[in-house]
Amino acid sequence: MLSIYSNAGNTLLRLPLFSRLLLSSTNSISNLNIAAISYRGYWLSTGSPSEYGLQKDAIATYEFVRKLFPKNPLYLYGHSLGGAVALYLASQPSIQKDLSGIIIENTFTSIKDMVITIYPQNWLPYKYLVRLPFVLWNKWENSRVIQEITTPMLFLSSRNDEIIPREQMLKLYELAGKSEKKVWVDFDKALHMNTHIFKEYLESIKKFIIETK
């Protein structure tokens, strides 16, 4: 039995991927279960999203999944912001040792790096304000967090990502030096949101799970 805990944000947008994973699991992955959450403030979830709030939601969902499936190999999957939530969860020592693997897709190095990326360099206020500690309420310092994770990791990266620079994913891969197994998969024609439509996508996830479960 296997479980994947997905930080999906808007779960509705990820349903095609989850459906394909479940349908394909009968051939190569035994009895796959997927627990997908929409963060507070996303889709039908109430409340307002924040880094602290999403971290609390992640831990609560992990504890709920573990009660349902106490002995299943457990994988975390996160796309974009979901990758940041997954990395935070995996960085918790008591949770990290319980994981079989982590899958992150098109994830950023930090909010500060994304602000610098999004706003042109001639927008001088943003260039300097973003470096002040009290300006950014949400930081998501993934480049720091990932350095403490030893769990096997699969990196799924779109070469044509129009939102998050591919260089940030490459940096995360480079910094994951403590991971006992790290796998990088490129998707030449994929954009930020459509990586899952390519055949290699499911094949990469299934191969990673088979090798680490």
> Model confidence over 90-100: pLDDT tens digits?
999 999 999 99
Query: What average pLDDT does the segment 91-116 reach?
Result: 94
Q: What is the pLDDT of residue 8?
A: 56
Across the chain, mean pLDDT equals 86
The yes-or-no answer on residue 161 being catalytic is yes
pLDDT higher than 70, residue 168: yes
> Is the Cα torsion angle 185, 189, 191, 195 positive or negative in sign?
negative
Kindly give, in sequence order, each residue whose CB lies less than 8 Å from that of residue 112, ignoring residues fewer than 6 positions away. 130, 131, 136, 139
The yes-or-no answer on residue 80 being catalytic is yes
State the chain's maximal CA–CA distance in angstroms: 54
Q: How confident is the model at residue 23 (pLDDT cuts 50, 70, 90)?
A: confident
**pLDDT top residue among 171 and 21:** 171
For residues 56 and 8, what is the distance between their CA atoms, to the nearest angstrom? 15
**pLDDT top residue among 3 and 161:** 161
Kindly give, in sequence order, each residue whose CB lies less than 8 Å from that of residue 172, ignoring residues fewer than 6 positions away. 104, 107, 109, 142, 143, 146, 155
Fold topology of 2-109+141-212: Rossmann fold (3.40.50)
Strand order in the sheet with 153-158: 32-37, 2-7, 74-79, 101-105, 153-158, 182-187
Active-site residue among 143, 158, 161, 179?
Answer: 161
Query: What average pLDDT does the segment 78-87 reach?
Result: 93
Active-site residue among 3, 25, 38, 80?
Answer: 80
CA neighbor of 156 nearest in space, from 175, 183, 177, 179: 183
Question: Domain spans of the chain?
Answer: 2-109+141-212
Using a 10 angstrom Cβ sphere, with 0-12 exposed, 13-18 middle and 19 or more buried, the burial of residue 57 is: buried
CA neighbor of 103 nearest in space, from 210, 209, 213: 209
Q: What is the pLDDT of residue 3?
A: 58
Q: How confident is the model at residue 44 (pLDDT cuts 50, 70, 90)?
A: confident
The yes-or-no answer on residue 186 being catalytic is no
CA distance readout (Å), 39 to 44, 46, 111, 151, 186: 9, 9, 18, 24, 27
Q: Are 113 and 139 in contact (CB under 8 A)?
A: no
